[in-house]
Amino acid sequence: MQTLDADIVILGSGAAGGTLAATLSELTGARILLVERGGHFGREFFNQLEWDMSQALYAEKGTRSTADGAIPVRGGECVGGGTTVNVALSFNPIERIWRGWQGSGLEGFSFDAAASDYGIDHLNVPRCLAEVRGRTNVHFPADSEVNRNNARFAKGCAALGIRASRFELNMRGCIGCGFCSSGCAYDAKRGTLVTFIPDAIERGVRLVHHAYAERVEYESRGASLVATGVVVTVRPTQPGSRPNSLEPGTYRIRAKLVIVSAGAIETPALLLRSKHPDPYERLGRGLVLHTSLPFIGRAPSEVAGHQGVEGTMYSDHFAESDGFFFECLFGHPLYGAAVLPGFGRENFDLMLSFRRLFGFGAMLVDESADDNRVEWDALAGKPRIVYRLTASDAVRLRKAARIGMEVLFAAGAEEAWIASEEPLGPLPTAHFRDASEAKYAELLRFTPHRTTITSAHAQATTKMGTDPRRSTLNSRGETHAVRNLVVCDSSAFPASCGANPMISIMTMARYQGRRIAGEAARYGL
């Protein structure tokens, strides 16, 4: 095994890892290695073919799901992580949520723009957020960018008096091709792939991709455990990827500070297989998925919802009262067929009217329940994701389903569907013929494999907090048990961050990067 030396090694190059690499290279003179499991694919590779891109850019080639196979758990596995394949919906961190966490002991993360947390000049959330928004060009899209699918959704909401708003998006120079989730071939989507990571590389950060972090290593120093580095396996570079900076092989990377940013599924899995101390069995517990339920309507005329910017309209009308959002999105045929109801002929017939279909989804801000968790399955060599909707989450999702059906009919649907084979009162399946039938959606049981729910926002599996009996990390993101080991990504949230998480994660990473630079001596940097 060859050995490499660095000051800081960052594991994972997604929303958090990419932002951290840029921030730490801007504010410190440290030698930084950015380690990414997936390939380094760019605009020249993104061919807008759903199958090819899901194989190359997504976790488990797009097949990652809960252990029972019932809920897809989508995530990016490539340089840029989720920000390379996501649809650019940009929500600021929600102050109400962070204040709630502070009430339970979370320190720092001041929302006062004059605050200097930890005594570090102007370290606060508004400043970090402004820097993230600026670099990723978060803005409101123009009226002309609202496609027919989103316009129909807005019309349906308006007819029922439901507040609908324009999303903010992190894009620049978007041509509205509609292929965000297959990677942007125009560098218009401003994920970390085209913003923070190139910034970091320009400042000397060494990016190693196709590189799987096998385990974090520690040693005892006095009474403490201290992280000393990580063992990484580099595999051969896949065709279409940019060249790598290391030859295939296994490496021991020694570092003064190890930062884990592998996302909410892989971060706890890595710590579990590294035998990180976990006396209260907190690692991986409390998984949040933002489970989503798609609603599909058939319009009398063409909608072509797959054309144009995918998501521009949403509704937070029920966010505070019931903890769900309506978000207007649409799929391309591969993903579309998977979330449409029916099998064989029935599914095919529906697909034949693909251009007249329109739809949106309910995204649930699900509770962080202990039984919902990530485990490390050593035999399978991958994480095991265990998740069931809690009873109270199911109640809220049923309400969302009923109102979602009403919105579709108010938006002009001739027929509507939820991807469910469950009989709902007099309806043999979740196929609705008019608005008066919407009430039957409240009978959904969300039986695994009979009703399709999806997810792409895993969070809260390696929680920050103060009490080691309830959390793995302190507010600095340092693990309670091991010095010089920091976790910073979607896993570090104490619970759901309350909306689509990308900008909250990047802001947290910018904040922790600034903090680490301001407290460099704490890590021997």
Q: How far apart are CA 441 and CA 398, in angstroms?
A: 7
Tell me, by CB under 6 A, how many residues bind ligand SF4. Answer: 13
Cα within 13 Å of Cα(27), Cβ side: 20
Q: Which part of the chain contacts ligand FAD (CB under 6 A), choosing from 14-22, 104-112, 196-204, 280-288?
A: 14-22
* Binding of ligand SF4 by 304 (CB under 6 A): no
Question: Site residues for ligand SF4, window 379-418 (CB under 6 A)?
Answer: none
- Single residue of 6, 53, 97, 188 touching ligand SF4 by CB under 6 A: 188
* Binding of ligand FAD by 284 (CB under 6 A): no
Contacts of 317 (CB under 8 A, 6+ apart): 157, 162, 163, 164, 326
Question: Site residues for ligand FAD, window 409-428 (CB under 6 A)?
Answer: none
* Binding of ligand FAD by 270 (CB under 6 A): yes
Cα within 13 Å of Cα(42), Cβ side: 10
Q: Tell me which residue has tokens 């619970």.
A: 495
Residue 214's SS3 state is strand
The entry of ligand FAD, ligand SF4, none that residue 288 binds, CB within 5 to 8 Å by partner kind: none
* Binding of ligand SF4 by 174 (CB under 6 A): yes
Nearer to ligand FAD, 234 or 410 (CB): 234
Other CB atoms within a 10 A radius of the CB of residue 148 amount to 17
* Binding of ligand SF4 by 157 (CB under 6 A): no
Q: How far apart are CA 215 and CA 13, in angstroms?
A: 17
* Binding of ligand FAD by 77 (CB under 6 A): yes
For the chain, report the end-to-end CA distance as a whole number of angstroms: 25
Q: Name the residue among 253, 211, 215 with its Cα closest to residue 236.
A: 211
Q: How far apart are CA 36 and CA 450, in angstroms?
A: 36
- Single residue of 27, 177, 231, 481 touching ligand SF4 by CB under 6 A: 177
The entry of ligand FAD, ligand SF4, none that residue 179 binds, CB within 5 to 8 Å by partner kind: ligand SF4
Using CA atoms, how far residue 331 sits from 163, 179, 200, 348, 464, in Å, is 24, 9, 33, 16, 34
Structure tokens at 10: 């960052």
Nearer to ligand FAD, 405 or 504 (CB): 504
Other CB atoms within a 10 A radius of the CB of residue 66 amount to 20
- Single residue of 47, 102, 139, 176 touching ligand SF4 by CB under 6 A: 176
The entry of ligand FAD, ligand SF4, none that residue 184 binds, CB within 5 to 8 Å by partner kind: ligand SF4
Nearer to ligand SF4, 136 or 228 (CB): 136
Q: How far apart are CA 444 and CA 424, in angstroms?
A: 7
Q: Which part of the chain contacts ligand FAD (CB under 6 A), choosing from 81-89, 129-137, 410-418, 434-442?
A: 81-89
Does residue 61 contact residue 55 with C-beta atoms inside 8 Å? yes
What angle do the packed helices 125-136 and 502-518 form, to 10 degrees? 120
The entry of ligand SF4, ligand FAD, none that residue 177 binds, CB within 5 to 8 Å by partner kind: ligand SF4
* Binding of ligand SF4 by 180 (CB under 6 A): yes
The entry of ligand SF4, ligand FAD, none that residue 176 binds, CB within 5 to 8 Å by partner kind: ligand SF4
Q: How far apart are CA 489 and CA 505, in angstroms?
A: 6
Nearer to ligand FAD, 263 or 398 (CB): 263
Using CA atoms, how far residue 100 sits from 127, 214, 260, 316, 355, in Å, is 20, 35, 25, 19, 44
Question: Nearest approach, Cβ of 263 to ligand FAD (angstroms)?
Answer: 3
* Binding of ligand SF4 by 53 (CB under 6 A): no
Question: Nearest approach, Cβ of 180 to ligand SF4 (angstroms)?
Answer: 4
* Binding of ligand FAD by 37 (CB under 6 A): yes
Nearer to ligand FAD, 424 or 496 (CB): 496
Nearer to ligand FAD, 440 or 490 (CB): 490
- Single residue of 9, 213, 272, 357 touching ligand FAD by CB under 6 A: 213
Residue 72's SS3 state is strand
* Binding of ligand FAD by 171 (CB under 6 A): no
Structure tokens at 206: 């060494």
Other CB atoms within a 10 A radius of the CB of residue 15 amount to 32
Residue 315's SS3 state is strand
Judged by the rule CB under 6 A, the positions of this chain that interact with ligand SF4 are 171, 174-180, 184, 186, 188-189, 309
Positions touching ligand FAD (CB under 6 A) are: 11-17, 35-38, 74-78, 81-83, 85-89, 181, 212-213, 261-264, 266, 270, 456-457, 489-490, 500-502, 505
